[in-house]
Amino acid sequence: MNKIVIFGGSFDPITKEHINVIKALALIPDVEKVIVVPTYKPPHKKASGTFYKHKVEMLNLALKDMQKVEISLFEIELKRVVYSWETIKHFKEIYPSFQICFAMGTDMLDIFSSWKNPEYIAQNATIILFNRDDKEKTKRAILNFENTYNKKVLVQEYNSTSISSTEIRVKNMLNLPIDDLADSKVVEYIKQKNLYLGDRFYYYINQVLPEKRRRHTAGVIIAGLGLAKRLKLDSRQVEIACLLHDNAKYLNYKDYKGFAYQEMPKNVVHQFLGEYIAREQLGVIDEQILVAIKYHTTGRKDMSLLEKVVFMADIIESGRTFNGVERLRALTEQDFNLGFKESVKDLLESLSEDKYYLTIQAYNYYVKGEL
């Protein structure tokens, strides 16, 4: 039986990775058509605010010359949250003589049972899984699905990249190149239509940080948002704290008369000055964000979850290359608290001198368990 493959998503904007996945779906044997379904408003995440007509236009630009590919406005035209089971039901009625397939990655399959009406999806569509994550997680997700719903998953091995729509949006807001992340026609459209422009916080960071540090900041935001999703934190809080964490990196504390400087290691000053600038000059009033900025380098005892997330995102963001960072990333993926504890331990042990008292307190509190 020939297959109709549904590939849904926010596509805000469509990335080169999306395009490669769509091409791979079209090459699966017996696939008659790949239907790309942009969401009006995704049920599992906050919309970024891009007007849907821009998303559709970028999809058209990126996919117009691809065979077997069709863009459906089914969900957008309903102008509401549309659940995947509704989309599958819609296309099952249109293509009754075809095998309906639904494409997803491991992260989605891993939380499949939390979806709306998962039984309907499992019984009325074949899941096509792009194996793009660690093998253990993928194996566990497949086993859970097949045992729960008594249906086989069609696994497509795929050499993925880490490109995401979030990365494009964040980098564009930080005035960083996005040509390697999106189709050239999509990049041109984003520039022409002034899409994904940052707020006043992004504007400030673009003024005070050089490109190299903005690249690091982008990595911290992306890592932080990934952790926020896993740990169910407010994504906007995490985004602002990560964005502003290094705002004082290249500033001189002597230029800020109201800043109460105390003797401290040179690499620590910017976290305290950064909190001062965020509060006094940028008008940040969220105390949780301010505290997360204030201790992102040293850590401290009894940190909030937001503080820990900013601390960890700063350490494991994709641009970091120090010895042991891959181990910390893997530990954090496996168990956030374990990754955090090991990072505090490694931080103190990496300091040959200038061991700041806050880091020592964090080490004693989290590693040695001295409350």
Percent of the chain with pLDDT over 90: 84
> CA of 134: how far to CAs of 56, 107, 229, in Å?
32, 10, 18
CB atoms within 10 A of CB 304: 14
Rounded Cα–Cα distance for residues 251 and 278 (Å): 13
The CB-based long-range contact list for 157-162 (8 Å cut-off, 24+ gap) reads 157/131, 158/21, 158/24, 158/130, 158/131, 158/132, 160/17, 160/130, 160/132, 161/16, 161/17, 161/20, 162/318
pLDDT tens column, 295-324:
999 999 999 999 999 999 999 999 999 999
The pTM for the full model equals 0.92
The CB-based long-range contact list for 21-28 (8 Å cut-off, 24+ gap) reads 21/103, 21/130, 21/158, 22/63, 22/66, 22/69, 23/66, 24/130, 24/156, 24/158, 25/103, 25/128, 25/156, 26/66, 26/67, 26/68, 26/69, 28/3, 28/128, 28/156
Which of the listed CATH numbers 3.40.50.300, 3.40.50.720, 3.40.50.620, 3.30.1370.60 matches domain 3-163? 3.40.50.620
Fold held by 198-367: Hypothetical protein af1432 (1.10.3210)
Q: Where are the domains of the chain?
A: 3-163, 198-367
pLDDT tens column, 26-85:
999 999 999 999 998 766 555 555 788 999 999 999 999 899 999 999 999 999 999 999
Contacts (Cβ under 8 Å, ≥6 apart) of 12: 47, 48, 50, 55, 165, 169
Residue 141: pLDDT over 70 = yes
Lowest mean pLDDT among 224-228, 263-267, 357-361: 263-267
